[in-house]
Amino acid sequence: MLGSHHPYAASDPRTREALTTLPVYNRLPFVPVRASGCDIITTDGRRILDLYGGHAVAALGYGHPGLVDAISDQCQRLLFQSNAVALDIRARAAEKLLQVAPADLSRVFFVNSGAEANENALRMACVVTRRDKVLAITHGFHGRTAAAGAVTWNSQRWYGFPAQPFDVEFIPRDDCDAAGRMIDSDVAAVIVEPVQGIAGACDLSHEFLRTLRKRTQQCGALLIADEVQSGMGRSGHFFAVQAHGIGPDILTSAKALGGGIPCGAVLCTEDVATHFGSGDLGSTFGGGPVVAAAIVAVIEAIENGKLLENVREREAQIREQCVRGPVKRIQGMGLLLGLVCDRPALEVRNALLQFDILTGTSSDPDVLRILAPLVLDSHHVDHLAQALDALAPSID
């Protein structure tokens, strides 16, 4: 409850939002007014280096001319039309996305968010296999809707629905034997984040991911790769499964997909697509023209700006320079990295914020998350390394 002791002035957005929106978010202690490149400018004139990218959304950073121009051109030409009509820009977005996706994926269904993409992917798996059990991985996160929440580890803390839409079991992370045992002919799908984002950028082993692929194929179950956080170049590949040479039956994307314009996509193989016809799936806003223009612009910027190479270089630089101060080791892939700390990650995040560097926490209390824009520059990494050095040594 907001009492008369609220710390901010009545006109401060923090006070006004506290009075008008549901109190479900812990808000950071600054208010952005604009942003440019990798920097956020705040109401009190601070310039904060954003290594968190708005939950991995700002793939191109802020104010990228290719993205801004594509969105504003499309707004002027045709702001919206639904899926009742075909659009050149939507066709281009689908074509571009399929060009950069794993080879066997040949169809796209556009939606509005990561949870909605997973909700549809799970429904599609139940329809295709006519089975009612889904396996997920311990520590995974897939969203907060009924099906996506059901396959999210520990979601009982907030799930809220009276029942789950299907049976769910969790395969212990990276346990190949358990995967081999648990995936059987009752299973509709296994859903997996190749790099578990919210869990602390935990990159699952190649052997584990290959076991999931092999065993699902043997049992007639589908493999769903949730690349909502790891996808769109963040891993140093367009999609993290490509680094493992694994082709899922369904792949979900969102977050960075539109570079900040809300959108999601479900990609699937031709085999999966044959089970769906008119009226089986739908969305009002999914694949709208502005969204589609943003998707094309993001993919072109990643290609033209050689951003996959940049991600791999910045990853190498972070691994080389940033195991220092509170950081004991680094996990993850590309610019989805977990800095394992010798003290609570929240403490490190707050301390880095004093140096005007924004990082993220994770569901692992020891892991600080880096989800920086893919346009990150080497001097940004130098700045992070210097700040980590300047943090006081651990008390124990």
User: Which chain residues interact with ligand PLP by CB under 6 A?
Assistant: 55, 113-115, 118, 141-143, 193, 197-198, 226, 228-229, 254
Q: Which is nearer to ligand PLP, 268 or 387 (CB)?
A: 268
Min dist. Cβ of residue 359 to ligand PLP (A): 16
Which helix or strand (DSSP H or E) is residue 136 part of? strand 133-137
**Helix (H/G/I), strand (E/B), else coil: 250:** strand
Smallest separation, CB 283 to ligand PLP (Å): 14
Between helix 378-390 and helix 307-321 the angle, nearest 10°, is 20
Whose Cβ is closer to ligand PLP: residue 227's or residue 366's?
227
Question: Mapping DSSP to helix (H, G, I), strand (E, B) and coil, where does residue 239 land?
Answer: coil
Shortest CB 1 distance to ligand PLP, Å: 27
Evaluate whether 222 touches 104 at the Cβ level (below 8 Å): no
Parallel, antiparallel or unpaired: strands 222-226 and 250-253: parallel
Q: Which of 56, 62, 35, 77 minimizes the C-alpha distance to 290?
A: 77
The two three-digit tokens of residue 77, written as one number:
């030409």
What is the four-CA torsion angle of 13, 16, 20, 24, rounded to 10 degrees?
60
Q: Choose between 39 and 196: whose C-beta lies nearer to ligand PLP.
A: 196
**Which DSSP category does 204 fall into?**
P
Position closest to ligand PLP via CB:
114
Q: How far is the CB of 171 from ligand PLP (least distance, A)?
A: 16
Q: Which residues pair with 340 in a beta bridge?
A: 329, 367
Residue closer to ligand PLP, measured from CB, 198 or 376: 198
What is the rounded radius of gyration, in angstroms, for the C-alpha atoms of the chain? 21
Nearer to ligand PLP, 241 or 391 (CB): 241
Distance in angstroms (rounded) separating the CA atoms of residues 158 and 330: 30
* In the complex, minimum distance from the CB of residue 137 to ligand PLP, in angstroms, rounded to a whole number: 11
Cβ at position 13, least distance to ligand PLP in Å? 22
Query: What six digits make up the tokens of 109?
Result: 């269904």
Q: In this complex, which beta carbon is closest to ligand PLP, that of residue 115 or of residue 171? A: 115
Nearer residue to ligand PLP within complex by CB, 144 or 210: 144
**In the complex, what is the shortest distance from the CB of residue 112 to ligand PLP, in angstroms, rounded to a whole number?**
8
Residue with tokens 């006081």: 392
